[in-house]
Amino acid sequence: MMRLPKLAVSSPESIEEAAGLLAELGDRAVVLSGGTDLIPNLKRHQLTVDTVVLLGRIDDLEGIRVEDDAVHIGARTTLRAIVDSELVPPVVARAAGEVASPTIQNQGTIGGNLCVDTRCFWLNVTDLWRQAAEPCLKADGDTCWVAPAKQHCWAVSSSDLAPVLVALDSSVTLVGSGGTRTMPLADLYVDDGIAYLTKSPDEIITAVTIPIDRGLDVTYHKLRRRGSVDFPILGVAAAVRRDDAGVCTEARIVLGAVASAPLRAVEAEAALVGEPFGAASIAAAAEAARKLARPLYNTDLTSRYRKRMVPVFVRRALEELAAR
Amino acid sequence: MSGRGRGHGAVGRAAGRVDSLGQVTGRTIYADDLMLPRTVTAKLLRSPHAHARIVKVDTTAAAAHPGVHAVLVGTDLPIKYGILPVSQDENALAIEKVRYVGEPVAAVAAADPETADEALALIEVEYEALPDVTSIEEALDPSHPLIHGEGTGANVDRETSLEFGDVKEGFAQADHIQEDTYFFQGNTHAALEPHATVASMGDDGRLTVWSSTQVPHYLHRILAKVLELPAGQIRVIATAVGGGFGGKTDIFSHEIVAARLARTVGRPVKITLTREDVFYAHRGRHPVLMKVRTGFTTEGRITAMSFRSYLDGGAYGSYGAASLLYTGQLQTTTYSIPRYQFQGVRVFTNKPPCGPKRGHGTPQGRFAIEAHLDRAAEALGIDPVALRRRNLVEPFSHTVNHLRITSCGLAECLDRVTEASSFDDKHTSLPAGRGIGVAVGAYLSGAGFPIYFNDMPQSEVMLKVDRGGGVTVFSMAADCGQGSTTMLATVVAEVLGLEPGDLSVVTADTDLTPIDLGSYSSRVTFMAGNAALEAAQRLLEEVLEAVAAELGVDTDLLSAEDGSIIVDDNPDKGVTWTEAVQLAMAQSGALVTSGSYKTPEGISGRYRGAGVGPTPAYSYTACVAEVTCDPDTGFVTVDQVWLAHDIGKALNPLLAEGQIEGSVHMALGEVLMEEQAFLRNGLHRGPSLLDYKIPTILEMPPVESFIIETDDPEGPFGAKEVGQGALLPVIPAVVNAVHDALGIRIDETPVRPDTVVTALADLAKGGSGRVGPTSLPDHEFPPLYRVEPPANSPGAAS
């Protein structure tokens, strides 16, 4: 069995205390919630910290409630609770149920899934392997082995919930040593495999807010090799609003796992808006999404295949909505 | 004589395993569970280079680290070893050179795992990197460096070049000649339990080694050799094995290192591999490049076949000399091939060593010829089932390469699966995207010859009876999950008229149990089963004689049944089993018997290479797979598998079906997703169970199993092997079904979604829709060695 490095464990009683600890310890500390992503990463020495900050003693981080035409989900709420919830939009429950495997869903949390570290097969390996390959950019080396010509990390955004929640126009609340702020979830992400989150290291996500929008049709299609366990190697979240005449009035298409952040397919959306929602506009949107996506060979299956699947998955997602 | 022990149906009854309670309640003790007082932890330092010279190893800092008990380097274990006498090419820890990423270079024993990790980090190894050789093509290119030896040259481990009968003449008789090339990707066993070993010096100065191994006897031999100890000073105990599949049939670095460290430290030493370590220890399926050429008459009769294989062996020999021969030798056991040519070469590459995995060497060749036959059927305009039926091997015959065939239910296997699946109605007739495929296979019931040449039995079983009537079975057979312990109890109980669960079975302990060569080549049911049968019959004989004397009846009138010895036609006169054994002890003392098994003469030819392929009996299998393919995504969903397995006799139908279903699962992984693949520099593509894709329960289709019983004349109660043969036809059946569904030809494994999409794109552009190898490496095989076919073979001169 791989061993965890020696770690100090802090268990603050309030979110402010937790944020204060993180501000004090800087990059020597990290938040541990469900741990399904962090623990294996620590065992593989992908990050070196000396303290983990637990959130278990802090009240109000867990639970799902509806208030002011929105669903509020505490960051520490497990994926299982979301899968089983009748309060969340069905697409959110479905996407939570597509994360990893049932056992991981029992343990993993929504906050953890939104912050899940970007992934790459040159990175998610042991010290021995990284030593054999020479450490990559994200492992404090000098070169990205996926695209050695550029000093950029292409590790993949691997959250299933992020594309869905961005398509639902969700927002996140963060508490840091400087106070509390709420921002659109889309603004949490940056297309950079190393600095993939905009939150400052001392900020902790406390809640996710999903507006209740019954006029919006939303779905999520995930590409992965097996029916369980695997991370997405492409995710397509699509949200469409139609008027009574069947003309698309609003669309959000978000691609997961083809870049280091969830990718808004703006041109694909533009191909839909103002058009009758049907085969012609769907085909145009699928083609626009294909042009946007530039997956690289750093996760399962070839990059060429994953790119090829972008229009297929966008089309299938939109066709599913058109059939509703 | 077996009629004497009529028993009460232990044989043939679907029953749970005798050892399942511990397994399902988590109480079975595996090697890593062993907790001896004062145990220290050992770990291995592994090479980060695929190919490098070791310039210097400095262990000073590691040895001085607090909590470190000992540090070992390669020169501490200088004696080379290897599982086959012809391949003594490994050191427990590398000396002078490392040959793959992950090869053990040094070892530490420390107070706890964390200290061991710290110590490993303190070992300084200076390497001088060498160019690496990572493909079959590179290995055969003489301008590349030699992995074993100095300078450059072709990295050939072993080769073979055999011709049975006049092959040229055979092809001259053909109306159609089919020629295809295939590539079978390597994959690994991925047993649930990572390997673990505990070693301890006893207060008597003897060494005891507990290991998760399928081959305690071979481990015993090699430990004696490498540690330079008399075998009598070493006791090897195979602990419960949490899955083997052939992955625990070689001797591993960590086993020798644990034993050596226990002697140095004087305290028990434990090594447990991580999952990543297991991918490097490997000894799994060889990647094999193949070319098959077959001549057919217009009616579809095979006139000749030539088969070529190129095996990527990885860094060491392991079982490779046998693996090489297995790729080509069993083709003749399913089809009547009158002229056959087989050339093969195994190369060394800078990757973890390959070895035996379920089906050892035969799944690759089977994939090739079954896909190839489907193509030939199409070209000849003959239905694929009809083409196979037209060429089936004859029961009780000899093959052109001198293999002896006994019972053979292949025709019945084929009938059962094609009928149950409505193959004839569905083939070429299912809606677009759906398809059905068929294939067959054959496998050994134990390798005909032991790994090292000797004239002694391959298996011995000893029985000892307690005064209370309890029977203990002693056998070195190591249950690797296949149920061999249950098999031994079942065979003995059947003869003695007892319940399998009433027996005590002591296994896999070199101090306590008589020889069994190990759980490999599907040998245990046939060989240990026959030895157990003989021991039980001898025991019964002794007991019946004592009872007959006591009751004053003829022994012929006595039978063992339901825990009693009864007198035929006089139910009031019998005695209980306990009374009976006490009578026997009173008469002749200790009630101990033994039995043994040795393969019969005449099951093989006498040419070089003839030793691999023979067996006392072949199991036969036919499979039909039905698939649905998504032409947009290339995903292949297996909807159902029908599999018929001629295993002679199901000693326990429940366990037999479990073996069949497990084989289907493993085969589906191999054909659709599993691959032991490498990036540049011999880097494993992903040594974890997240990256190495094994089908989950969601990918597992319904399996309809048919057990075909042909009552083999030499098998115990007619039984043959189950569980390796069942894997073989599944892989080509799926590949053939994908062709039926989409019209593409995937001539390589695994059939990944991206492969399917590539083939479909090619087809859409007017191409052939084929994905597979397009060329063979430049390699001149040795001159063909000509062997004349035996009488009673399809190639016999008429």
**Cα(B164)–Cα(B265) distance, integer angstroms:** 56
Q: Identify which of B632, B686, B693 has the shortest CB distance to residue A312.
A: B632
Q: Identify which of A2, A125, A301 has the shortest CB distance to residue B754.
A: A301
Q: Give the pLDDT confidence of A160-177 residue by residue, as tens digits.
A: 999 999 999 999 999 998
**Mean pLDDT, to the nearest integer, of B740-764?**
98
> What is the predicted pLDDT for the residue at B2?
39
Q: Determine the residue type at A11.
A: S
Residue B300 pLDDT exceeds 80: yes
Q: Determine the residue type at A89.
A: P
Structural domains of chain B in order of their starting residue, each with its CATH number: 20-28+457-597 (3.30.365.10), 34-130+193-242+248-281 (3.90.1170.50), 163-185+284-448+604-787 (3.30.365.10)
**Mean pLDDT, to the nearest integer, of A169-191?**
97
Best residue in A44, A225, A304, A310 for a mutation probing chain B (most B CBs within 10 Å): A225
Q: Identify which of B48, B272, B752 has the shortest CB distance to residue A132.
A: B48
Best residue in B274, B275, B678 for a mutation probing chain A (most A CBs within 10 Å): B274
Whether residue B696 and residue A228 make contact (CB cut-off 8 A), yes or no, is: yes
Q: Give B199's strand partners.
A: B209, B269
Whether residue B274 and residue A230 make contact (CB cut-off 8 A), yes or no, is: no
Query: ipTM, 2 decimals?
Result: 0.96
* B696 interaction partners in chain A (CB closer than 8 Å): 101, 226-229
Parallel, antiparallel, or unpaired: how do β-strands A51-54 and A29-32 relate?
parallel
Q: Give the pLDDT confidence of B461-483 residue by residue, as tens digits.
A: 999 999 999 999 999 999 999 99
**Closest-CA distance of chain A to residue B150, Å:** 24
Q: Of B668, B666, B684, nearest to B676 (Cα)?
A: B684
Who's near B33: CB < 8 A, 6+ residues apart?
none
Looking at residue B599, what DSSP letter applies?
A: P
Whether residue B683 and residue A132 make contact (CB cut-off 8 A), yes or no, is: yes
Residue A101: closest C-alpha in chain B: B696
Residue B454: CA atoms inside 13 Å, Cβ hemisphere, count?
10
Q: Judge whether B567 and B574 are in contact, CB under 8 Å.
A: yes
**Mean pLDDT, to the nearest integer, of B558-571?**
92
Residue B698: closest C-alpha in chain A: A227
Name the helix (H) or strand (E) containing B506.
strand B504-507
Whether residue A227 and residue B699 make contact (CB cut-off 8 A), yes or no, is: yes
Q: Give the pLDDT confidence of A242-281 residue by residue, as tens digits.
A: 999 999 999 999 999 999 999 999 999 999 999 999 999 9
Tokens in use for B550? 């006591």
Q: Judge whether B209 and B34 are in contact, CB under 8 Å.
A: no
> What is the predicted pLDDT for the residue at B29?
97
Q: Determine the residue type at B761.
A: A
Whether residue A301 and residue B681 make contact (CB cut-off 8 A), yes or no, is: no
> What is the predicted pLDDT for the residue at B1?
36
> What is the predicted pLDDT for the residue at A1?
78
Question: Hey, where are the domains in chain A?
Answer: 216-322
Average pLDDT of chain B is 97
Topology of domain A216-322, CATH: Enolase-like; domain 1 (3.30.390)
Q: Identify which of B117, B276, B693 has the shortest CB distance to residue A226.
A: B693
Q: Of B718, B721, B700, nearest to B709 (Cα)?
A: B718
Whether residue B673 and residue A225 make contact (CB cut-off 8 A), yes or no, is: yes
Q: Identify which of B117, B683, B698 has the shortest CB distance to residue A129.
A: B683
Q: Judge whether A248 and A274 are in contact, CB under 8 Å.
A: yes
**Cα(B674)–Cα(B668) distance, integer angstroms:** 9
Q: How far is CA B588 from CA B222, B543, B545, B546, B552, in A?
A: 40, 10, 11, 9, 17
Whether residue B696 and residue A225 make contact (CB cut-off 8 A), yes or no, is: no
Percent of chain B with pLDDT over 90: 97
Q: Give the pLDDT confidence of A10-62 residue by residue, as tens digits.
A: 999 999 999 999 999 999 999 999 999 999 999 999 999 999 999 999 988 99
Q: Identify which of B49, B114, B753 has the shortest CB distance to residue A305.
A: B753
* A121 interaction partners in chain B (CB closer than 8 Å): 685-686, 691
**Cα(B372)–Cα(B292) distance, integer angstroms:** 7
Q: Determine the residue type at B154.
A: A
Whether residue B687 and residue A125 make contact (CB cut-off 8 A), yes or no, is: yes
Parallel, antiparallel, or unpaired: how do β-strands B785-787 and B156-164 relate?
parallel
pLDDT bracket for residue B4 (50, 70, 90): very low
Q: Identify which of A128, A228, A305 has the shortest CB distance to residue B48.
A: A128
* B272 interaction partners in chain A (CB closer than 8 Å): 1
**Closest-CA distance of chain B to residue A2, Å:** 6
Residue A130: closest C-alpha in chain B: B48
Kindly report the backbone phi and psi dihedral angles of residue B686, in degrees, each rounded to the nearest multiple of 5, phi listed first.
175, 85
**Closest-CA distance of chain B to residue A155, Å:** 15
Residue B5 pLDDT exceeds 50: no
pLDDT bracket for residue B8 (50, 70, 90): low
**Closest-CA distance of chain A to residue B71, Å:** 19
Q: Outline where chain A has alpha helix (H).
A: 15-25, 38-43, 79-83, 90-97, 102-107, 110-114, 127-133, 161-167, 266-272, 279-292, 303-322
* Residues constituting chain A: 324
Whether residue B274 and residue A225 make contact (CB cut-off 8 A), yes or no, is: no
Q: Which residues of A touch B (CB under 8 A)?
A: 1-3, 6, 101, 121, 124-126, 128-129, 131-133, 223, 225-231, 300-302, 304-305, 308-309, 312, 316
Q: Give the pLDDT confidence of B203-227 residue by residue, as tens digits.
A: 999 999 999 999 999 999 999 999 9
* B687 interaction partners in chain A (CB closer than 8 Å): 125-126, 129
Measured at the alpha carbon of residue B205, what is the angle toward residues B200 and B209, in degrees to the nearest 5?
A: 30
> What is the predicted pLDDT for the residue at B495?
97
> What is the predicted pLDDT for the residue at B796?
86
**Cα(A30)–Cα(B752) distance, integer angstroms:** 38
Q: Give B624's strand partners.
A: B438, B642
**B295-298: long-range contacts at Cβ-Cβ below 8 A with a sequence spacing of 24 or more?**
B295/B170, B295/B171, B295/B173, B295/B174, B295/B176, B295/B177, B296/B174, B296/B175, B296/B176, B296/B177, B296/B178, B296/B376, B296/B380, B297/B173, B297/B174, B297/B175, B297/B176, B298/B175, B298/B176, B298/B380
Residue A150 pLDDT exceeds 90: no
**Closest-CA distance of chain B to residue A251, Å:** 24
pLDDT bracket for residue B797 (50, 70, 90): low
Best residue in B105, B696, B699, B755 for a mutation probing chain A (most A CBs within 10 Å): B696
* B757 interaction partners in chain A (CB closer than 8 Å): 305, 308
Whether residue A301 and residue B753 make contact (CB cut-off 8 A), yes or no, is: yes
Whether residue B693 and residue A126 make contact (CB cut-off 8 A), yes or no, is: no
Q: Of B261, B260, B269, nearest to B70 (Cα)?
A: B261
* A223 interaction partners in chain B (CB closer than 8 Å): 633
* B686 interaction partners in chain A (CB closer than 8 Å): 121, 125
Whether residue B274 and residue A2 make contact (CB cut-off 8 A), yes or no, is: yes
Whether residue A305 and residue B686 make contact (CB cut-off 8 A), yes or no, is: no
Residue A128: closest C-alpha in chain B: B48
Who's near B571: CB < 8 A, 6+ residues apart?
none
Q: Is B530 exposed, middle or buried (0-12, 13-18, 19+ CB in 10 A)?
A: buried
3-class DSSP state for residue B729? coil
**Closest-CA distance of chain A to residue B193, Å:** 11
Q: Identify which of B46, B117, B696 has the shortest CB distance to residue A3.
A: B117
Q: Scanning the structure block, which residue is given the tokens 């009758």?
A: A276
Q: Scanning the structure block, which residue is given the tokens 């043994």?
A: B596
* A231 interaction partners in chain B (CB closer than 8 Å): 690
3-class DSSP state for residue A121? coil
Q: Which residues of B touch A (CB under 8 A)?
A: 46, 48-50, 101-102, 113-114, 117, 272, 274, 276, 632-634, 673, 679, 681, 683-688, 690-691, 693, 695-696, 698-699, 752-754, 757
Q: Give the pLDDT confidence of A72-125 residue by residue, as tens digits.
A: 999 999 999 999 999 999 999 999 999 999 999 999 999 999 999 999 999 999
Whether residue A125 and residue B274 make contact (CB cut-off 8 A), yes or no, is: no
Name the helix (H) or strand (E) containing B411.
helix B410-421
Distance spanning both ends of chain A, measured CA to CA? 48
Q: Judge whether A61 and A206 are in contact, CB under 8 Å.
A: yes
**What string of DSSP letters covers B421-462?**
HTHHHHTTTSPTTEEEEEEEEEEESS-SS-SS--SS-SEEEE
Q: Is B192 exposed, middle or buried (0-12, 13-18, 19+ CB in 10 A)?
A: exposed
* B101 interaction partners in chain A (CB closer than 8 Å): 128-129, 132
**Mean pLDDT, to the nearest integer, of B13-33?**
95
Q: Give A98's strand partners.
A: none
Who's near B559: CB < 8 A, 6+ residues apart?
B4, B5, B6, B497, B565, B566, B568
**For B660-708, what is the HEC assignment?**
HHHHHHHHHHHHHCCCCCECHHHCECCCCCCCCCCCCHHHCCCEEEEEE
Distance spanning both ends of chain B, measured CA to CA? 40
pLDDT bracket for residue B569 (50, 70, 90): confident
> What is the predicted pLDDT for the residue at B156?
98
> What is the predicted pLDDT for the residue at B571?
79
Q: Determine the residue type at B676.
A: Q
* B673 interaction partners in chain A (CB closer than 8 Å): 225-226
Q: Of B444, B400, B363, nearest to B607 (Cα)?
A: B400
**Cα(B523)–Cα(B721) distance, integer angstroms:** 7
Q: Scanning the structure block, which residue is given the tokens 């019998």?
A: B574
**What string of DSSP letters covers A286-300?**
HHHHHHH----SSSS
Who's near A9: CB < 8 A, 6+ residues apart?
A51, A52, A54
Buried b (16+ CB within 10 A) or exposed e, A269-287: bebbbebebeeebbebbbb
Tokens in use for B352? 């973890």
Buried b (16+ CB within 10 A) or exposed e, B51-78: bbebeebebeebeebebbbbbbbbebbe
Tally C-beta pairs within 8 A across A and B.
76
Q: Identify which of B274, B683, B698 has the shortest CB distance to residue A227.
A: B698
Tokens in use for A307? 């790119």
> What is the predicted pLDDT for the residue at B769?
98
Residue B253 pLDDT exceeds 90: yes
